Each structure stands twice: as structure tokens, then as C-alpha cells.
Amino acid sequence: MLTIIHIETATEICSCALSSNSQVLLSRENSQEQSHATSLGVFVEEIMQFSRENDIKIDAVSVSSGPGSYTGLRIGVSEAKGLSYGLSIPLIAIPTHKIMAWMMKDKVEADSLLCPMIDARRMEVYSTIFDTDLNVIRTTSADIVDSDSYIHLLERHNVAFFGNGAGKCREMITHPNASFISGVKPHASAMVFLAEQAFSAGDFVDSAYFEPFYLKEFVATVPKNKVI
């Protein structure tokens, strides 16, 4: 029996799940923005309590590794590293875009490309291009979207765009081979297969030194002085 805790905090959704042998036993989520710090600890405690009550041994913890929200990723990875260290179990890191692509790979035509997009403010998105076998066709980058974005791919393939960054690109990307799928958000319960695959391959990261894939450095802004 392979039992894994899954943590996903890369976007506005904070979610946590417990799976065993490919089945989700428990799943929790909060869709309110800026709730990760308060919600995740509660979700993990519920999962740990469920595991104790049902005498379930946890074998690993998986975490969505980015790109995405700097704060969300930091919270999720810190929790996952703490579980890995405290329970002496392996830590599995799964790219956030790969989770999203896994969610959509069977919902498009087999020869289509998948472009999960995470909002990076203004007209910028974090995106990766996959085929439906989850092979990376173009590595992750921060793209400033305009009418020519992805044109070299759209001339040869149908490309499905989705994620919380895709909506703002719909008016800019008008090629007939482009399609937009709404409502696709990464979730801990969608990490099960990818995490089990990584576990079987021994694909673990160092719980002491692992850092999320922020893609861009966090830049703090200084609030404007208020005139009284």
C-alpha cells in the first residue's frame, strides 16, 4: 500500500489530499485568496488525524513545485519539507504546469498541444508547452503575451490554453488553432498518479535543500505614503 500526502498551493487555490494506491482517501481545499497560511496547517492536521485513526502509514509527501505565487509556493513547500523531515519520509516535487497538463491531457485531441498558464500579472504568464503524453515541447518561461505569441506552434498544431492566466490572453491569441478552456486550476487530488510514478522511479528531492521553482525573484513593493 502506497500512501502519499499531496500539497498544492501555487495559485489562489490551497488544497491538500491523502491518497492510497491511486485512490483519494481525503481531500480538502480553500479557494479564498491569501488563505494558504491559515488553511494548509488545518488541512494537514485533519489528514494526520485521519491517518492515526485509521492506522495508515504515510510513505511520502508530494508538493506542487511551481511556478506560481511566491508566497503560496513558499508556504506549501515549507509544510511539505516539515512533513518529510518530521515523518522521515521522501519528498516528491511535481511541476505545477505538469499537474495542470495531466488534468487536461485526455480532454483534448491526441495531436494537440497543452499550454497551462499561470497568471504573472499584467499581460505576463508563466507557461510550459506539453504534448498529450506530457513530454515537454517548450520549457517553462515567463511570456509577455501579444498577438504573435505561440504563433510558431499554432501554425502547426492545435493548442489548448488553460489556467488562471489564460483568460486574459483570449482576446490577444486569435489564431483558429487556439482553444481556451476555463476553470482549470491545479489541485492536490490531481497529483496522485504523478506522485506515485515519481515514487516508483525513486525521483525524490532533498527535503533540507529543495526550493520551489519561482521562475522570477520576489520583488517587494513599498506602499505609498498616505496623506493625513
How does pLDDT run across 167-193, given as a tens digit for each residue? Answer: 999 999 999 999 999 999 999 999 999
φ and ψ at residue 167, rounded to 5 degrees: -60, -40
Q: Give every residue of the chain whose pLDDT is below 50, as ranges.
A: 218-228
Give pLDDT tens digits for 101-140.
999 999 999 999 999 999 998 889 999 999 999 999 999 9
Kindly state whether residue 208 falls inside one of the protein's structural domains: no
Q: What is the total count of domains within the chain?
A: 2
Same domain membership, residue 168 and residue 60: no
- State residue 228's pLDDT score: 42
83 and 194 share one domain:
yes
Same domain, 7 and 91: yes
Cα–Cα distance, 78 to 82 (Å, whole number): 6
C-alpha dist (Å) from residue 2 to 89, 133, 138, 169, 188: 12, 24, 32, 40, 16
> Which candidate, 3, 182, 215, 178, places its Cα nearest to that of 96?
215
Assess if residue 223 is contained within a domain. Answer: no
Which pTM value belongs to this model? 0.92
> Three cell numbers at 156?
502547426
In a domain, 219, yes or no: no
Inter-residue contact 97 to 128 (CB < 8 Å): yes
C-alpha grid cell, residue 38: 491559515
Which domain range does residue 197 map to?
3-96+186-201
